[in-house]
Amino acid sequence: MLRPRIIPCLLIQDGGLVKTVRFKDPKYVGDPINAVKIFNEKEADELVVLDIDASVKGIEPNYQRIANLAAECRMPLCYGGGVRTPEQARKIISLGVEKVAISAAALENPRLITQIAEEIGRQSVVVVLDHKKRMLGSTQDVWTHNGTRNTKRSVLEVAAEVAELGAGEIVINSIDNDGRMKGYDVDLAVKLRQTVNIPITILGGGGSLEDMHKVISKCGVVGVSAGSFFVFKGPYRAVLISYPSAQQKDDVIYSALQSN
Nearest to 144 by CA among 230, 31, 229, 52: 52
3-state secondary structure of 81: coil
Decide if 130 is catalytic. Answer: yes
Residue 247's Cα: distance from chain center in Å? 24
Alpha-helical regions (H) of 95-154: 104-108, 111-120
Helix (H) or strand (E) holding 233: strand 232-233
Q: Cα(17)–Cα(14) distance, rounded to whole angstroms?
A: 8
The DSSP symbol for 15 reads: T
Tell me how far CA of residue 200 lies from CA of 55, 123, 214, 250, 252, in angstroms. 22, 12, 15, 20, 18
Residue 199's Cα: distance from chain center in Å? 12
The DSSP symbol for 221 reads: S
Q: What share of the chain is helix, strand, coil (3-state, %, to 5)?
A: 40, 30, 35
Helix (H) or strand (E) holding 211: helix 209-219
Nearest to 36 by CA among 1, 13, 10: 10
Name the catalytic one among 130, 141, 178, 211. 130
Would you name the residues annotated as active-site residues? 130
